[in-house]
A = this chain, B = another copy of it.
Amino acid sequence: MTNLIVVGATGAVGKQVIGLLDYNYAPFKNLRLLASKRSAGKSIIIKHKEYFVEAINENSFFGFDFAIFCVDTDISKKYVPIAVKSGCRVIDNSSAFRMMPGIPLIVPEINFNTFSENNYIIANPNCCTAILTMALYPLHINNKIKEIQISTYQSASGAGEKGMKELIKQSYDYINGNTLETEVFGRQYLWNVFSHNSAIDLVNGYNGEEIKIMEETKKILNTNLIDISVTCVRVPVLRSHSLSVSLTFTNENNTNNIRELLNSFPGVQVVDDRLRNVFPEPILSNHSDNIFVGRIRNRLGDKTNTKFELFICGDQLLKGAALNAIQIYNEICKKILLINKEEIVA
């Protein structure tokens, strides 16, 4: 069994990773929880055992086989190389290494075959990318997708604990007639939507989040032939992300085929009840391991039968982050360490 480190154990994603470990989603022998100095000393119970959060430093990684990094890009850039030098294999949630050639960017259901034993850094995709590619891949391998148009409905959790706290705090302040605090997003988030707060490329006008989704999706689907455009928008939702997606396939398709392909893909669930008006929505996907797809329909007036619309929801903190990282970890454990997770966990 592996000795595992969770870096960023007190953040929004780190907490979910720990929750999954506590819930037997993955095996480990020794476990170390790292965070900033500020969080050091905090106690966390996992499987009836108490762990104390330690402040990260250059010697934190010796003697450990694996580290799941759930921290900002700057901290990943600094400590991932140190972890690797210490002999640790790293699954990194940040965007620091995702697009580097030679570094696998993995959604296990899709492209775990891009991992080899030589890879000591494995990148976990952007939250929207992970959720999106889960819906695209089963369709794409059946009938190549040529063009994608996406508008996102992204939750506060994408900005971490502090984002969720600020949104909830604003609702308290609104109800109590206080001025709303706007430290994290620089604006009222309650009763508002706004263009994603990542920096904009001044030349092309796309923001960082949009570029990530566009580039990472191509890397995971292993193609440069998809013409993809994304508009990223934050909505006052706590944890699940939603995506409104228009697809153009190379060949004719139909809604029944799309539903079947999606429903038979692990981790994807079709929720598409036209009669009762039941479709994917964040309060359904919150805390679920699955991603949900609905509103599946052929574009009205499309005579080519190649253009389809769908609406996707997935828990940003689970399949969009922690769960995907844990799944990567499990697959690597199985492959490298010849551990059969089922035997150990059961």
With contacts A149-B149, A151-B244 taken as known, whether A299 is within 8 angstroms of B192 at the C-beta atoms is: no
Contact with B along A200-235 (1 / 0, CB 8 A): 111011110000001000000000000101010101
Query: Is A294 in the interface zone, CB < 8 Å from B?
Result: yes
What is the distance, in angstroms, from A152's C-beta to the closest C-beta of chain B?
A: 9
Query: Is A93 in the interface zone, CB < 8 Å from B?
Result: no
Binds B, one of A4-12, A171-179, A329-337: A171-179
Q: Which residues of B contact A153 (CB under 8 A)?
A: 153, 193, 233, 235
Contact with B along A265-286 (1 / 0, CB 8 A): 0000000001101010111000
CA distance A149 to B295 in the complex (A): 15
CA distance A14 to B235 in the complex (A): 28
- Select which of B195, B202, B294, B301 is within 8 A of A294 by beta carbon: B195
Query: Is A321 in the interface zone, CB < 8 Å from B?
Result: no
Closest B residue to A206 by beta carbon equals B300
Q: Which residues of B contact A237 (CB under 8 A)?
A: 191-193, 236
With contacts A200-B274, A204-B298, A246-B149 taken as known, whether A188 is within 8 angstroms of B283 at the C-beta atoms is: yes
With contacts A191-B237, A255-B205 taken as known, whether A300 is within 8 angstroms of B229 at the C-beta atoms is: yes
Query: Is A69 in the interface zone, CB < 8 Å from B?
Result: no
When the two chains form their complex, are residues A187 and B281 in contact, meaning their CB atoms are under 8 A apart? Answer: yes
Q: Which residues of B contact A172 (CB under 8 A)?
A: 175
Query: Is A194 in the interface zone, CB < 8 Å from B?
Result: yes
Q: Which residues of B contact A301 (CB under 8 A)?
A: 227
Query: Is A325 in the interface zone, CB < 8 Å from B?
Result: no
With contacts A175-B171, A193-B282, A309-B229 taken as known, whether A200 is within 8 angstroms of B275 at the C-beta atoms is: yes
A selection of 10 A-B contacts at a CB cut-off of 8 Å is A151-B244, A191-B238, A199-B277, A204-B297, A205-B274, A206-B297, A229-B309, A231-B295, A231-B309, A235-B236
Known: A197-B277, A229-B307. 11 other contacts (CB 8 A): A153-B233, A171-B171, A171-B190, A187-B281, A191-B238, A191-B283, A205-B274, A231-B295, A233-B311, A235-B235, A236-B237
Q: Please give the residue numbers on chain A whose beta carbons come within 8 Å of chain B beta carbons, in ascending order.
A: 149, 151, 153, 167, 171-172, 174-175, 187-188, 190-195, 197, 199-202, 204-207, 214, 227, 229, 231, 233, 235-238, 242, 244, 246, 255, 274-275, 277, 279, 281-283, 294-301, 307, 309, 311
